Amino acid sequence: MAEAGSTRSGLGRVLVAVYAVFALSATARSGVQLATKAGEAPLAYTLSALAGVVYIAATLGLAEVGPAPRRLAWAAVGFELVGVLTVGTLTVLDPELFPDATVWSDYGQGYGYLPLVLPFLGLAWLVRTRPRPEHAT
């Protein structure tokens, strides 16, 4: 069982692991794309890089690294949800918008829709592990 208030314990371990995989893949992929063919789809690659940074922030927040990890996790996962919904909707409405795919294109279809499911899991986990008022830190 997860200890009260800890986002990195129990099921949180798996969540952190999945976020870490996305952080690594999104960052590395966009890094290679920006380094080798930035001109082809600058907006898409920059967006991928931004997604990578958001995933890194979410990973660190959920893993309880840094001075205010819970706040960091809320912000990152919240941004991630807005990002995947916005980019997903835009790319579904206008497939020509980005010349090359991003993690969030078509609601993360290229990644088995995991990018769409992940922020909901992250928010649910943050709510579930929320510190109770009497134990507030």
Partner 1 sequence: MIEPLQTILIVVSLLLAVAAGVYVALDRSPDNLLVGLAGLLELGFLAQAVIGIVQVAGDDDVASPVTYVGYLLAALVVLPVGVLWSLSERSRGATAVLIVAALTSAFLVVRMVQVHG
| Site of interaction with partner 1 (CB under 8 A) | 1-2, 9-14, 16-18, 20-21, 24-25, 28-29, 32, 35-36
Q: For the residues of 89-105, what is the DSSP string, one character each? A: HHHHH-TTS-SS--TTG
Nearer to partner 1, 12 or 52 (CB): 12
Minimum CB separation of residue 86 from partner 1 in Å reads 27
Terminal CA-CA length for the chain: 20
99 burial level (CB within 10 Å; 0-12, 13-18, 19+): exposed
Nearer to partner 1, 90 or 114 (CB): 114
- Phi and psi at 40, nearest 5°, equal -65, -45
Nearer to partner 1, 9 or 109 (CB): 9
Nearer to partner 1, 20 or 123 (CB): 20
Minimum CB separation of residue 20 from partner 1 in Å reads 7
Minimum CB separation of residue 23 from partner 1 in Å reads 11
